[in-house]
Amino acid sequence: MTELLFDGKRAYAHLHHIAVEIDGRLGGSAGERQAADYIAGYFQALGLEVRRQEFPVRNYDLVEKKLVILDPPLGEVTCEAVWLTADTPPEGLEGDVYFLDIGAEEEIGPAVEGKIVLTLGGIRGAAYDRFMRFKPLAVINIEMGVGGPPIRIEAIPEVRAKFGAIPNVRITHEDGIRLVKEGVRRARMVVRTTEADSISQNVIGELRGTVFPDEIVVIGGHYDTSIGIQGASDNTGGTVLVMELARIFSQVGTKRTMRFVAWGSEELGLRGSVCYIKDLKKRDKEAHQAEGFVKERDKTELEQHVLCVNLDVHGAVLGQNQAMILGPGDLTAAARLLAKEIGVAYDVKEDVYSSDCTPLSEGGIPSIAIHRFGGTTSAYLHSPRDVIDWLRPEALERSGRFVELFLRRYVAESAVLPFERKIPDDHKKKIRDYLEKRLRIDYYADEEEEKKE
């Protein structure tokens, strides 16, 4: 076997700097820019060709959050605001509480009108459209997971603009059980935030291929976090894997071009990867329409992209490894066989992973999303408990060496790239359903407008 060079201690040193020494990395924040500068400086020191891709984002900050149960008089309950929804009046709002169970579409009707709705897991997809038509007053979301704190997440501004929004808070699973058992009837909620337009950025470091430079493989992980947290596992862990892999391949070289990307603002709706693929698709269309372009001979930059390796959520001492594939069967088989060959357990599936690989696969680029879940990773994701204490260099090294070997074998050293550049039809449907129904970004709006024109 090729001698592997991935150094977990090096990766962990980067992790400590980004997660602990930089104060929060919400998309478009000063902390995110500081982290971007650090990553860009490291890529430059490795001799990579570095550029930044900027894009607009809507970010936020907290003024006040409070949930008080008035009847029965249980007092204040710990909560987190759901950002980019709606604020209450400064003095708060008060109303009767209606328990909606899991918030499924068939449960939603006139009974929610004017009520503070208590529900398990939140209201999503088509259920949200129906829910908002009945004009509820506010929402208390009970966490699905047991034992963790209420998480910090944000809504999608495009959904708010299209369907409207009401104040939202999140509470723990245990507090949710208590409120339901006590028969909560009335509550008061205060949610006050600030919002601002800002600029986020992808940091891109390119290592040119020596034999097939027009075959581009993206190795990426997002470096932003939810507001005010370390985000040690999600996704400083994935970011530092990208950085350490960049160091290795800058030393050993690669036949194919490797593009190492630290994605910005993933937590705000995959903004960095959406910007990246939309730019490629725009220039692809322009190139195909340009005079002298021969489809059978020429390749656009988008068409040169042959694979995306996405690294999101890594480093936990305890957890389960998973690889999720959007692409040809050979890619699935390669990941599964490699894991069995080297004796590292991976659950390999063909499905959408909610991260920056999915927009690229929507654009026709096969992807493999490698991540670690379960234990502290799943329980503390998107919360102030996602800290470096639960992570170790050895766990980073174990994941990093798997990815290093995968890239050496199939990308850097392979005589022919063994994966067809293809997204199967059933995978395309999964991607479209995810983008339209779950993420709820008007991802295809620009393309539909172009078709009308």
Q: Which pair of structure tokens corresponds to residue 184?
A: 């909560």
Phi, psi values for residue 289, rounded to 5° = -90, -10
Other beta carbons within 10 angstroms of residue 161's beta carbon come to 10
pTM: 0.95
Q: What is the pLDDT of residues 138-190, one digit of tens each?
A: 999 999 999 999 999 999 898 898 899 999 999 999 999 999 999 999 999 99
In Å, the largest CA–CA distance within the chain is 75
**What does the pLDDT read at residue 376?**
83
**What does the pLDDT read at residue 78?**
98
- What are the residues whose beta carbons fall under 8 Å from the beta carbon of 45, sequence distance 6 or more? none
**What does the pLDDT read at residue 443?**
57
Instruction: Name residue 350's beta-bridge partners.
Output: 325
| DSSP string covering 52-105 | EEEEEEEEEEEEEEEEEEEETT-EE---EE-BTS-PPPTT-EEEEEEE-TT--G
Q: Which domains does the chain have, with CATH numbers?
A: 8-59+198-452 (3.40.630.10), 73-184 (3.50.30.30)
Distance between CA atoms of 229 and 153, rounded to whole angstroms? Answer: 12
Q: What is the pLDDT of residues 202-251, one digit of tens each?
A: 999 999 999 999 999 999 999 999 999 999 999 999 999 999 999 999 99
Mean pLDDT in order along the chain per 10 residues (453 residues): 87 98 95 98 98 97 96 98 96 97 92 97 87 97 94 91 94 98 98 97 98 98 97 98 98 98 97 97 94 88 98 96 98 97 96 97 98 88 95 97 98 97 97 81 54 49
**What does the pLDDT read at residue 440?**
62
